[in-house]
Structure 1
């Protein structure tokens, strides 16, 4: 690592912020959490109790975890001694603009200022910062829940310094994440754009009566999800071409795949949109509404842990 990270400020204690806070603390950092929600103390306690077993299953020592997580009275107190700040506020450029002005003013000059923004590039909310402050601001976008899902998209803004990019990569590696640097800002970054493309076609197929929501999920779980948990789209396609690889695949089925792609649907729009969207929502609620949020996330997290453990085991056998 180019420098040490000992204290982290987590700004915003929703689902993402609470997951980050638990992860950081499990890796030995002192964490200060700030959020105006009146139930902050209860939310932090519940998150630590829920997420600690997940991290223990991943081989981390969670002894004394709660002793490393502290509630801050406000943003200024949270970032006062921070080496790194992870912001998890509302997805509004104006809000982030005001917040990062405060973070840049109140945090130490060496502090790395990271945003969990899901779609808004940092250049959109750092325009009024000085060059010095803008140089240490960039996106560190996780996937939910970040204490389990390894990917972090590291996206520098137009004025982000290269040292900050390297520091962000080092930091996320130090807390067990897999950072991927994306060198061009684009709304939604990479992961959410891919997810959105699949989600649009999924919504179209359900709206058209081709498949139910639960059966579409089974299609993904038992094919694409299983494949993509081990190889990405490009490696999967390369292997799909057999010994001839990606070139063979493109030359032999590329045209038919292009024709399929050209026929991808768009969910209902304009005057039909509201009714079609309501039917889709009702179909999803029918499929999964009988279970509580905690039951569904519990199942998801257990399965994600199982996948991670299986991949770890396979990698150890290979090595």
Structure 2
């Protein structure tokens, strides 16, 4: 792929599809100071999009706007071709229908200037299945966000079998420049990473409701008042590493590894062989990045207290959902 400009030089972004996800992307890119052109085939798309951006803007102001950021830098075009004619990056956010995605990406490939990367917001389809009819599939990548894209930092980037590696690298650099937290995946995985984890929790929750083991309220409280507080600071792997005390993940696996055979979930546990054991321990060491267990405990504790205070769950908290309510 011959790129038209470096990721840091992008000034104009096109967003194709302006629903909840596409509109969230529009708001995010505007807040980061880009000129944004948008297109959506729905007859009321422009009015809905502008309402969404205006509703998101107060939150974006709190996060901090980039110099020059303005809602006035949004242009809604009458055609797809107009939207992408001068784009330096394209974000597609059409509904999750494979035939529609495939057709739209093919049209975008034909209409977008050569060398411009085109990313899909798909939440599950592999790019390999979507790029089959494109003339230049090498520039097509997945840029999977989380709702709302203007608020949740994560985006997962991965190419398909016919995607150029340079396009994946370029997209990851662009998203980072645009203020996102990026996971660049080495290979396609159905549902990507975060959705796989979300889905596992969701399915187990449905099992528990269906069998009468827990209520919806029980399940939500079990996360918001339990592990969810820790996950906001560090993910499940480092969180479990701290369960091993000074021995870290190795001690945790030695102590709790046998419970993988216990019927705590409907998911089948992998065999905790030496390769998996070593990979998890080494991965936690890498993630700790030089921080000791004591450092991580202090970081976790401070973070959880901050979350509790921010959500009004500590005595005397002046913030949270009820604070300032009218």
Which residue is 2:227 aligned to? 224
* Aligned pair partner of 1:177 in 177, 180, 195: 180
**Structure 2 counterparts to residues 226-241 of structure 1, below 5 A:** 226-241=229-244
- 1:7 and 2:12 aligned: yes
* Aligned pair partner of 2:118 in 110, 113, 116: 113
Cα offset for 1:90?
1.6
Conserved? CA contact 1:56–1:62, under 8 Å: no
Which residue is 2:277 aligned to? none
CA displacement 1:70-120 (0-9 Å, x = unmatched): 111111111111011100012122111111111111001121100000000
Conserved? CA contact 2:124–2:191, under 8 Å: yes
- 1:53 and 2:58 aligned: yes
Which stretch of structure 1 is more off in the superposition, 16-25 or 64-73? Answer: 64-73
Cα offset for 1:64?
6.3
2: CA distance, partners of 1:122 / 1:91: 13
2: CA distance, partners of 1:77 / 1:151: 29
**Structure 2 counterparts to residues 36-51 of structure 1, below 5 A:** 36-51=41-56
- 1:65 and 2:95 aligned: no
Conserved? CA contact 2:33–2:67, under 8 Å: no
2: CA distance, partners of 1:107 / 1:30: 16
Alpha-carbon RMSD: 2.0
* Aligned pair partner of 2:137 in 134, 139, 142: 134
Cα offset for 1:66?
2.2
Q: Look up the SS of the partner of 1:202 in the other structure.
A: helix
Cα offset for 1:63?
6.8
Q: Look up the SS of the partner of 1:70 in the other structure.
A: strand
Which stretch of structure 1 is more off in the superposition, 101-110 or 113-122? Answer: 101-110
- 1:195 and 2:194 aligned: no
Q: Look up the SS of the partner of 1:179 in the other structure.
A: strand
**Structure 2 counterparts to residues 157-168 of structure 1, below 5 A:** 157-168=160-171
Cα offset for 1:258?
3.0
Normalised by the length of structure 1, the TM-score is 0.79
Which stretch of structure 1 is more off in the superposition, 197-206 or 209-218? Answer: 209-218
Which residue is 1:256 aligned to? 259
Cα offset for 1:210?
1.7
Cα offset for 1:15?
0.3
2: CA distance, partners of 1:63 / 1:134: 34
2: CA distance, partners of 1:84 / 1:72: 16
Which residue is 2:26 aligned to? 21
Cα offset for 1:251?
1.1
Which residue is 2:296 aligned to? none
- 1:152 and 2:140 aligned: no
Gapped runs of 5+ residues in structure 2? 1-5, 269-306, 312-326
- 1:92 and 2:97 aligned: yes
Gapped runs of 5+ residues in structure 1? 266-302, 308-319
Greater helix proportion: 1
Conserved? CA contact 1:5–1:83, under 8 Å: yes
- 1:32 and 2:37 aligned: yes
Cα offset for 1:123?
0.6
- Number of residue pairs the alignment of both structures matches: 267
Which residue is 2:304 aligned to? none
Cα offset for 1:223?
1.2
Cα offset for 1:34?
0.6
